[in-house]
Chain A
Amino acid sequence: KAGVTQTPRYLIKTRGQQVTLSCSPISGHRSVSWYQQTPGQGLQFLFEYFSETQRNKGNFPGRFSGRQFSNSRSEMNVSTLELGDSALYLCASSLVNGGAPDTQYFGPGTRLTVL
């Protein structure tokens, strides 16, 4: 079974621009979560989507947004980029069964550099 895929793998942008990152979950996984990883803060939760609905959102400004499509693929968007947005953006997918916690499987990440 193919794993979580993320595109692009690397991005270089300048301050003020916007960027869109894409994530394709493992086949059959309907929940997609996004995380930001930086050396100082570690892994921080951005948001989670299921059935095209955002169910939870982390403590990030409104410049960070996302969406999920009917095939469970997801995108996240960052507008008006700041230097501090430079990070590894990770997508994770999981099954949803309503009972035991579902393991989240991560993609390789998108490395965003803001100049």
Chain B
Amino acid sequence: EDQVTQSPEALRLQEGESSSLNCSYTVSGLRGLFWYRQDPGKGPEFLFTLYSAGEEKEKERLKATLTKKESFLHITAPKPEDSATYLCAVQSRGSNYKLTFGKGTLLTVNP
């Protein structure tokens, strides 16, 4: 069974203070790892898809990286508008299109 663990559960940063979120996973053959951002009361918003170890993707202040056991979401010089819950999900070869999600990291960026 696919498993995803995200850490920390909550992270509080000052504006401009860079940090990283972790997503550890166990799957039987990774097809893809996905990062989403979710604001309160809204649906998850897609950020990145990573397919294989060593892959990296960037978007504005966010950079996602992938190894064979975990993924990191690096946030550089965050702003208050980056405050949200960040969700990691995996899709494995035997999952029949299902995404397995972690519980998320609640990020708060103070001005």
Contact present for B103 and A42 (CB under 8 Å):
yes
Contacting B at CB under 8 A, from A71-115, are 90, 92, 94, 100-109, 111
Across the A-B interface, how many residue pairs have beta carbons closer than 8 Å? 62
Task: Please classify how large the interface on chain B is, using the bins under 10, 10 to 19, 20 to 34, 35 or more.
Answer: 20 to 34
Task: Return chain A residues, CB-CB under 8 Å to B45.
Answer: 106
Contact present for A55 and B97 (CB under 8 Å):
yes
Contact present for A104 and B99 (CB under 8 Å):
yes
Contacting B at CB under 8 A, from A41-62, are 42-45, 48, 50, 55-56, 58
Given known A42-B104, A43-B87, A108-B42, contact A100–B32 (CB-CB < 8 A) = yes
CA distance A31 to B102 in the complex (A): 22
Q: Check if A33 is an interface residue, CB within 8 A of chain B.
A: yes
**Shortest CB distance B32–A (Å):** 3
Q: Check if B44 is an interface residue, CB within 8 A of chain A.
A: yes
Task: Return chain B residues, CB-CB under 8 Å to A94.
Answer: 97
Task: Return chain A residues, CB-CB under 8 Å to B31.
Answer: 100-101
Task: Return chain B residues, CB-CB under 8 Å to A103.
Answer: 34, 46, 49
Task: Return chain B residues, CB-CB under 8 Å to A56.
Answer: 95-98
Task: Please classify how large the interface on chain A is, using the bins under 10, 10 to 19, 20 to 34, 35 or more.
Answer: 20 to 34
Q: Which residues of A contact B (CB under 8 A)?
A: 4, 31, 33, 35, 42-45, 48, 50, 55-56, 58, 90, 92, 94, 100-109, 111
Task: Return chain A residues, CB-CB under 8 Å to B32.
Answer: 100-101
In addition to A100-B31, A101-B49, 13 A-B residue pairs with Cβ atoms within 8 Å of each other are A31-B97, A35-B99, A42-B101, A44-B101, A55-B96, A56-B98, A90-B43, A101-B31, A101-B32, A101-B51, A104-B99, A105-B46, A108-B43
Task: Return chain A residues, CB-CB under 8 Å to B97.
Answer: 31, 33, 48, 50, 55-56, 94, 102
Residue-wise, chain B 17-43 has the 8 Å CB interface mask toward A (1 for contact) of 000000000000001101010000111
